[in-house]
Structure 1
Amino acid sequence: MTGLDSLTRTVPPPADPVDAQGDWTEAEERLGVRLPADYRLLAAAYGWGEFCDYLYLRTPFGTSPYNVLERYDGLLVWGVTMDADRLCWRTDGDPDQWPVVVVGRGTGREEFATGAAGFIEEWVTGRLSTTVLAGMEPDLEPWFNTFRPRLHRCLRLSEGSRPYDERLRILRDVLAPTVDRGSWQSADGEQGQDHFATGDSDWHLTYDRSHPHQIRVSFPPGDRTQVRDRLFAAVRLMGCTLLEITAPDGLPLPDWDADDA
């Protein structure tokens, strides 16, 4: 099994990847090198986006200035991290044998005898031995997010009469199919979060145990009405009252009317 095979089993690729297709011959001529075969398959499968809110994969396609393969200190950068570490190749010899070089934001530098796909697979599964990169948060499941325009909403709810676990089950049933992204809970059970995504669309959700509790959701702008209608239906079945809809910074939003819930 290749690193990409194992990675796709652990982290399902998106149904509609961004900047995943293009003219590879033109891209390689522009860069002046032939790109590794495993990277070409990796970019085609996932496109431009992020693994676990931390490791950002770039492709040679698209128009965003943030999605480019570029030279840095004699290396070729194919990704970065949230901490501004650079993920690179040392481009000596056969491209399919290029080692991955991690250049830390500070002075750290490490080299790995693995392709880009194998490197990411080892990181998301916690098997990568590194002193430069941070690890994935232990309470979360591996995932991949495409980089595309998204809207963000927070729905603050009354407690209602149902226990939290039942409300969560109803919410996920209404939005089914869903994919788990992990959860955490405080020792007293008063605080916590459950993270999941919809399996047939590109909606990302967090259900908070805060008081009052809330549903946080991000989604493509074109899904605005569908997201609103399904979440409002879920809130009614959960036995809750929608108190307020805000942006992530807490400011009220006029585009969804809580009175419609």
Structure 2
Amino acid sequence: MIVLDALVRLGPPPADPPPVVDWARTERSLGAALPADYKRLVETYGDGIFDETIRLLVPDSAYGDCDLHAQTRERDEILTGLWEFEAKPAALLEVGARVVPWAFEEGTGAFLYWLARPGQHPDEWTVLYNEGPGPLWEHHDMGCSAFLPAVLTGTAETDYFGHLRDVLRPAEHRFETADRTLGASRL
């Protein structure tokens, strides 16, 4: 909870609580349990975007681009096709290893995934960043709730978010709900 507290201090959540998520149904649908820090993140913020850059995926979002279920299916299909002609990242060569998307970088095609290894508890999943239209992957040895404040404050060691340092170091960080930023594009 301490990591989420740091994020809340950095970028306060919306005043109105997000809709309640049926986590049991979500995990059955995905075929995997999800990290506890992600569940707390979604229960605190709901779907939306941090600093106009990192858009959080949530189960059953009214917006297809923000829906964890829809994006998981779409990313699985895209990556399966991609790996027919491009090498998988080394972290995914382990039998049974997979990625599960949890956020994306607005306007770039880049996605943030969890690296889910066989036999590993979801709370131990780490973050993989994929640049999107390209083969480059970057591993971060932390969960999503630790990764977000590190990226937003510019303390994450990353080659990818380096070009966004000015954008991601505003005087005041903020989270905007999907309803506010995408209201006209509901499914």
* Compared CA separation, residues 86 and 23, structure 1 to 2 (3 A): same
Instruction: Name the residue aligned to 2:173.
Output: 142
8 Å Cα contact 1:48/1:58 also seen in 2: yes
Aligned counterparts of 1:5 and 1:135: Cα–Cα separation in 2: 22
Runs of 4+ deviating beyond 6 Å: none
Identity %: 32
- Per-residue deviation at 1:39? 0.3
Task: Name the structure with the higher strand share.
Answer: 1
Aligned counterparts of 2:12 and 2:33: Cα–Cα separation in 1: 27
Counterpart amino acid of 2:65?
Answer: Y
Instruction: Name the residue aligned to 2:21.
Output: 22
User: Over residues 136-186 of structure 1, what are the superposed CA-to-partner deviations in whole Å (9 max), with x where a residue is unaligned?
Assistant: 5244421100011569xxxxxxxxxxxxxxxxxxxxxxxxxxxxxxxxxxx
- Per-residue deviation at 1:113? 1.3
> Within the alignment, does 1:43 sit opposite 2:42 as a pair?
yes
What secondary structure does 1:78 align onto? Answer: strand
Structure 2 unaligned regions, length at least 5: 80-97
* Compared CA separation, residues 61 and 17, structure 1 to 2 (3 A): farther
2:145 to 97, 102, 117: 117
Aligned counterparts of 1:136 and 1:17: Cα–Cα separation in 2: 30
8 Å Cα contact 1:88/1:100 also seen in 2: yes
Tell me the TM-score normalized by structure 2. 0.74
8 Å Cα contact 2:101/2:114 also seen in 1: yes
Instruction: Name the residue aligned to 1:212.
Output: none
**Aligned positions of 1:194-209 closer than 5 A:** none
Tell me the TM-score normalized by structure 1. 0.54
Q: Per chain length, whose mean CA-contact separation is higher, i.e. which structure has more relative contact order (CA < 8 Å, sep 6+)? A: 2
8 Å Cα contact 2:55/2:66 also seen in 1: no
* Compared CA separation, residues 150 and 43, structure 1 to 2 (3 A): closer
Q: Whose radius of gyration is greater, 1 or 2?
A: 1
User: Over residues 11-44 of structure 1, what are the superposed CA-to-partner deviations in whole Å (9 max), with x where a residue is unaligned?
Assistant: 11111254x4221100000000000000000011
Structure 1 unaligned regions, length at least 5: 152-219, 222-261
What secondary structure does 1:148 align onto? Answer: helix
